[in-house]
Amino acid sequence: MGDTAENLKTTPLHALHRELGARMVPFAGYEMPVQYPTGILTEHKHTRAAAGLFDVSHMGQVRIAGADPAKALEALVPGDLIALDVGRMRYTVFTNDAAGILDDLMVNKRDRDLFVIVNAACKEQDIAHMRSNLKGCEVEHLQDRALLALQGPQAVAVLARLNSALPAMSFGMGATLALGKFEGFVTRSGYTGEDGFEISVPDSQAEELARWLLAQPEVKPIGLGARDSLRLEAGLCLYGHDIDTTTTPIEAGLAWTISKRRREEGGYPGAAIVQKQLAEGVARKRVGIRPDGRAPAREGTEILSDRNERIGVITSGGFGPSVDAPIAMGYVATAYAKPETPLGLVVRGKALPAKVSTLPFITKRYAKA
């Protein structure tokens, strides 16, 4: 194994990333591949055209067991976990008492437990939060498991070579499966706007599975750079950027994650504020933004109205390789949140013209049941 910057953790695929010529960067306390030699544009387009393999082993994998873990976890998140069928997964957020977002997470309901994926940068805090608040539940941090994501329209054909039942799995489902000689918890899900799978396997199997996948003609390794441009095109939030403790789920456009029952009953931190915002509206909203020109507008860019009032800020911005244009997301005052509203983006001291856009920027291609 090569040199690693001090104090950075590594995933079980670290040596493989180096062997593949990845450029490694610090990310959430880990040394992770930001790109491979072909570069972000090629990796991004390859994922949308074929299949990309992502190492997301830095993310937190947590098992919650107990008498009724779904009911227990509902005390911390606005998502409807009681109504969730076994075998399905749901996107939700941890909220604080001000209805700010502590992290976003995926919850998989299984026969005897919940399998939860949280962000790498928040995992220690999330686990402590769950341990102190989930009464009667065991919160187990699965530290000996890797997480691989295989994303793109050809991901299903690749994985079908290991398990012929996989094409029948719907998007948003998960199951413990044999994948040839490997065994993992597999969900049909992802963070790219494409069809795809996330595969949780023991650390000891991760490299061999990754090598098998990379040996398939459709599959190329994809770094965090393209992961970011893919999720931005798909209009998906990045925690710490598009959502954080200063944004509520309603401001963030995540009201769709809160069921009718949970809107009415509340029962999670900040519920009263969420209910008020659902009833009365919010002062600002997360929107998609398309600069008119070719210059990208990055995170932190000030957003102006057509009368040059400061009305918001960009939270994620860059270039969308499949859109072939700069794209961004940010928060604007609600009066300016309608698609096609003209905006100015202050880039290097100049107000560049832009417009509010619908999200996502690309058509999502999730596999239907």
Partner 1 sequence: MTIRYTKDHEWIRLDGAVATVGISEYAQSQLGDIVFVDLPEPGKKVDAGDEVAVVESVKAASEVYAPVGGEVTEKNQAIIDDPSLVNQSPMAEGWFVKMKISDPDALDALMDQAAYDAYLKTL
Site residues for partner 1 per CB under 8 A: 34-35, 39-42, 44, 225, 228-229, 294-296, 298, 318-319, 321, 326, 348
Cα(173)–Cα(197) distance, integer angstroms: 10
Nearest to 63 by CA among 131, 148, 149: 131
Least spacing, CB of residue 42 vs partner 1, in Å: 8
Residue type, 68: D
CA distances from 73 to 61, 263, 268 (A): 15, 16, 9
Cα angle, residue 106 at apex, residues 36 and 248 outer, rounded to 5°: 105
Residue 148: left if φ>0, alpha if ψ -120 to 50, beta else—which one?
Answer: beta
Nearer to partner 1, 182 or 361 (CB): 361
- Give me the least distance between CB of 294 and partner 1, in Å please: 5
Q: Determine if the peptide bond prior to 360 is cis (ω within 30°).
A: yes
Q: How far is the CB of 131 from partner 1 (least distance, A)?
A: 36
Q: Report residue 189 as tokens.
A: 């899900």
Residue with smaller CB distance to partner 1, 166 or 297? 297
In the complex, the smallest distance separating the C-beta of residue 192 from partner 1, rounded to whole angstroms, is: 15
C-beta of 135: minimal distance to partner 1 in Å? 44
Which of residues 70 and 230 has its CB atom nearest to partner 1 in the complex?
230
Distance in Å, CB of 288 to partner 1, minimum: 18
Does residue 334 sit in helix, strand or coil?
Answer: helix
| Whole-number Å distance between alpha carbons of 40 and 225 | 6
When the beta carbons of 40 and 120 are compared against partner 1, the nearer one is: 40
**Residue 112 or 350: which CB sits closer to partner 1?**
350
CB of 78 to partner 1, least distance (A): 33
Whole-angstrom CA distances from 156 to 159, 174, 227, 352 are 5, 14, 19, 42
Please say which residue, 184 or 321, places its beta carbon nearer to partner 1. 321
Q: 288 Cβ partners below 8 Å, 6+ apart?
A: 235, 327, 328, 329, 356, 357, 358, 359, 360, 361
Nearer to partner 1, 16 or 226 (CB): 226
